[in-house]
Every structure is written in C-alpha cells, then in structure tokens.
A and B are shown apart, each in its own frame.
Chain A
C-alpha cells in the first residue's frame, strides 16, 4: 500500500495540478500560495481525505495548518488514523 503522502500527492497532481510536466511538488510547498487550491478547492480536498482515509474532519480541523502542505496533510491524517485505532 502506498504511503499517505504518496496518495495525497497523486490526488493533488490529478485534481489540482493536472499535469506532470510542471514544477515538482514538494511536501512542504504551500498549496494555497502556489495557487493550486482555489477558494472552493479545499472542499474537494476535504471530501477526498474523508473518503480515501475513512476519517471525518471536524470544522475546527479544517485549517491551513492541517491542509496547506502535503506534509501537513499526511501528518494530520496519520494522527487521525492512530487516534481512531487507539479509541
């Protein structure tokens, strides 16, 4: 099974970047500053994470700290998953 950040990267490439030819996507690039996610794109991202990783995001968790970089997203998702297992 591919790692979380790989799956997230693939999703972002397919859905926000569309192309493989453009500049490389680093795990710490700000997705908003790069213009990759517009003001409605975040909803698509949240929908993907919930479906792909079987998590539910609370409103308070939908913040740039959790969603603005691939590394941030991967850490957030991993945290949610381990919290679910522990529960």
Chain B
C-alpha cells in the first residue's frame, strides 16, 4: 500500500517535472514511508511512495514492464495476482519480479484497459503506455483506494490524496459550496465531486484514459441487483446451500487477503463481522494471529466485553487502546487533514487512533469486517425502513409503530421517547412511500438540520439547489425495479461506503499511519453473489444479516453469531465542550472566525455552541450540525487558510 501521484501533459523542463513530482509525493509520504521513486519524461510524470508488503526486495516503483514499453505507479493490492501470473506465464509473458505490480503491467500488455475486469483487489494505478502515448488509470470496484485528479493548463494531475495536488502551482484549495451542501445532507460529496472546487475523484469502478486529444472516463463495473419481480434473478436454492456458498466464498476472500510478505493482523471489534473475519484468518495462518481493537470510556459506546470474549475464543494475541473524549478532541484537526473534507460524526477519530496502535505494534496490514453491513444488510437503517414501510401501509395502526422502539435498544435517549412522537417522526412514511430515497429520508433530513447554520450568502448561493434531487437524478435506471431492501443497500454500498466509510473512516485515517486495511466482505465475488440472495434471507423479519449469521455459525461461538448488531459509535460533542475542550474549538467558532469564512451565521453558531456547552449532550441533529460547522472551520484552516478572510465562494455549475 502506497501513495501515487503524477501528471500527463507538457511540463517543461523535465527537471521541473521531477521537482513537482517530489513535492507531490512528499505531501503524501505518510502513505508509503518505505521508499520513493519518480519518473519524468516527455509528456508524463509518475511518482510513488512505497509501503513494502509484497516482494519487498524487487517491488520498487514506478516499475517498468519487462519489455520497457510500460511504466506503472500503483497503490493497493491485487489479491489474485498469483493465479493471474501463472496464467500469463503459461501464455508466454516474462516476469522480472514476484510482485503483484508487474502482474498488472503484463495483464494490461495482454488485454489493454479490459485488464481491470480480471483484477480482484483494492487498487488505484496509472500506467504510462509509451508506444501509444496514453496514460491509463483505474480504481477498484468498491472504492477502497483513492484517486483524485484535476486539469490545469492542459495538464492532467493525479494523486492518492488531494494534498499532493495542492503542491502543484496553480492548484489551490477552495471549498465547493455544493460539496458542502451534499456533505450536510449525505455526510459526503457525490463523486466525482470533492470538497475542493475543480478537483475530482475518479469514482469507484471507473477507468480514465488520457491521450493527447483528451481525457475519457468510463465505468467498468456497477453494483446491480435483480428485479424484484423477477424470481429467476434471485438465488432460489435452499438457505443452507446458499449459506454454505457464502461461507466458502468468504473463506477464499479472506485467504487471498492474507497474501503478503509481511505479517497481517486483524481488527476485532467484538461484533459479528470482524469476529468472522478474524476466525477465518486464524484458521489460515500458522503463527498466532495478532488482533487490535479500540474501546471507549463510556459503556454506551464500549464493546470491550465482547472483544475479550472473542479474543479468548479465538486465542489471538490482542492489543487494545482506549479512545477518550480528550483523544478525539486532540486528534480532530489531524483527522480533518487526513479526511480532506468536513465530517459530521467523530467516528473517524477512534479509527485514526487505532491505526496508530497498529503501526506502533509493527504492523502494516490489517483485515477488517467493514462491508458486511452493506453487503448482507446489517445496518439499522434497513430495519428502520422496513418498519416505516410497514407502518405506512396502515397509518392508523397504533401497534405497528411500536416496532420502532425495538430498533434502537442501544440509544438511551431514544428509549425515553414518547411513543406518539416516535410515531410522528418515523411515521411520515405514507407521503414518502414513492420516493426512491425512502429508506434514507429520516437520516438525510436530520443531517440537513446542519443547513440551519448557513450564512445568508450561502443560502443565496445555494438557492434552487437540492442535494437530494441530484442524488435522485444519479440513480441507475434499473433502481426503481429493485426490491426496497436492494434500493436501500445500493444507497449504502454505492454511495455511503465509498463516500464515507472506506474513505473518511477507512483509507484516509488508516493510511495516515501507513496501515493498509483489507476487506474480505468487499471481494467483488462476494458482493455479486450477495446481491442475488433473496432480501428475505438477508433481513429475516427484523433479524439483520440472517444469511451471514447462518454462514458464520460453524466458525463462531453461538453468543457472537447471534449478537444483535451494535453500531460502531463514538462520543460526538463531549470531546469539544467543557473545561477540557481543546483551545481550537473556541478559536474556530468565535464570531470573528465564523464571519471571516462567510459560510455560517455567527449568531446561530453562537447559540448552538452555547446549547452544546450547557447541555453537554444533544440530539443527532445538533450533534451533526455542531461537528459539521466545527470541522468545516478546521478544513478551511488546514487547506485554505486564506479563505478565512475571503468572500464566501460562489456556486459552481452543478
């Protein structure tokens, strides 16, 4: 795992290109502290910061193909490189190394851009094809590894993180107000948009081809689900057979994700997903497996008891770290420098701390259970949508909404809710039933409460723009035919997963400490197989991830396999209020600082800050608004300090 950067176009002279590549890759050296390489020649430049994991001796990059025709800079892993290499050798390809990097080169030589369809892995790479004078770049299907790009004066610049692009003269950080409005609705900007005006990401499952005549971006893979009305589209075999296949696929996905020339560890939260991944890995490795976890002070958030139970059951060598509210407060500016976007939850901060523990323990690679909730329907939002639909079919039923109280047993503030109000909040289903975003409307509406704090200028700039309408317009044509659960899963797996979970809460906070996460549940074979499993086997009544639990049962203690999901949550506003609040909070939220950035209304922010300080604990809406405002201010501080005195940005065309 590494960092990549480069350009395509005329950068003269080559010495200047080389210096720029050095500056770009220097900005993301945290991703690959084991080695650096740059290549600059007429019309192209590639740079690489290396975290050595496979073929430690010979895997340096940028790497040339054996025939010298191709050069590559590559971030990520190709897990099926062993099998691909054997195939390529059999058909006459020559290899100079045993790296997965060279497998991409030879596969591209054999197949061209279609090579991505054979790759099973998490990747972002760029190949310079000298004979065709073409730059070919690609990003993995689920969006594990990042790829950002921008064009200035006819030169295409790309990198693993935006901060490398900001090292290029003429590229500056300016907050895109539409991106902020999307973050204040969904928690992330809709790809290819980023928080930075005029800087894009290559969306997951896409390739980019740059030639002297232009840049073309194409989708090579998409999440898909069968039509709800088409019984043949679903896997109709008996449940036990399907569960067996799920187990076999996951075991293979975990097995090939243990391929590395360094020892691979595992995150272990104590929940079903990471316990299953850890159990499968334990069965594959000969040495004692190392596991890592993060815990919290407050029992409302902590899963330490479950972790200890799993560590005992699996006999792993375990290290854990407690993440205090003070830790979260202290880490937040660094977290925002890593996420490169405002965030509305603190949850990336503990994972930032956890990756630090992994690195300090001498590990570079960890397996994680991330993805299971998207692929096998584990999130509460799926249950909530099911209950809301159920209630909406008979709005006068008094008992149907009672199910709502069963949904969030771990939220004490919600448990105290009067029934009539719960019903009103969740029971708006009848009028929303036809909305394609039905499953996510309560979340989006609650999140959008953060927009109350916009300044008059921001309101004016955004007049007529609707983030939800834009998302609706981006949904695939077939979306309307999918089962409601598939629709909700698509919104999670196709948008929130790459937009937030794998980026702000994944790659960026792990790679800040040079730690690579690997995700057996996001093997595309697993994802494609799971999409055909009947929805009733994923969410059986209100039992989430039913089929996964059945698949996991032989591998886990019964208590773990049957445990009701406890979502990963961290203290939200406590880290930023009270006597122990970090000094930057008052500084960044002061009326002068708010007024200078021009995005928010300083009176409203002052009232919110006072309320948060007074109560110490507030509802979701206020939590998210507070964090959204605070982290936007931190973002400006980190990336666009001059914006602190500038006028609010105008809106770019949507």
Contacts and interface: CB of A to CB of B under 8 A. Distances in A.
Contacts of A32: 424-425
Contact of A64 (B424, B426, B607, B619): B424
Interface stretch (B355-363, B415-423, B561-569): B415-423
A39 B607 contact: no
A18 interface: yes
B481 to A, nearest CB: 31
Interface in A33-87: 35, 38-44, 59, 62-64, 67-68
B422 A62 contact: no
Contacts of A43: 413, 416-417, 619
A19 B604 contact: yes
Given A14-B607, A18-B608, A59 B418 contact: yes
B263 interface: no
A68 B424 CA distance: 10
B418 A39 contact: no
Contact of A35 (B445, B456, B605, B607): B445
Contact of A38 (B416, B420, B611, B620): B620
B453 A18 contact: yes
A86 to B, nearest CB: 26
Nearest to A63: B420
A21 interface: yes
B626 to A, nearest CB: 11
Given A39-B620, A41-B619, A68-B424, A19 B453 contact: yes
B620 A62 contact: no
A6 interface: no
Nearest to B404: A39
Interface string B614-633: 01001111100000000000
Taking chain A's interface residues, is the majority helix, strand, or loop, or is none over half, making it mixed? Answer: loop
B621 A42 contact: no
Contacts of A39: 414, 417, 421-422, 425-426, 446, 619-620
Interface string A20-31: 111000000000
Contacts of B416: 43
B449 interface: yes
A35 B448 contact: yes
A26 to B, nearest CB: 17
B619 A38 contact: yes
B425 A21 contact: no
A17 interface: yes
B621 A41 contact: yes
Contact of B619 (A17, A40, A67, A68): A40
A14 B449 CA distance: 14
A25 B619 CA distance: 21
Contacts of B252: none
B191 interface: no
A20 B621 CA distance: 19
17 contacts: A18-B605, A19-B601, A19-B607, A32-B425, A38-B425, A38-B619, A38-B622, A39-B426, A39-B620, A40-B414, A40-B618, A40-B620, A42-B418, A59-B418, A62-B418, A63-B420, A63-B421
Which 9 pairs from chain A and chain B are nearest by CB? Answer: A40-B619, A19-B604, A62-B418, A38-B621, A18-B604, A63-B420, A39-B425, A18-B607, A42-B421
Interface of B: 413-414, 416-418, 420-422, 424-426, 445-446, 448-449, 452-453, 456, 601, 603-605, 607-608, 611, 615, 618-622
Interface of A: 14-15, 17-22, 32, 35, 38-44, 59, 62-64, 67-68
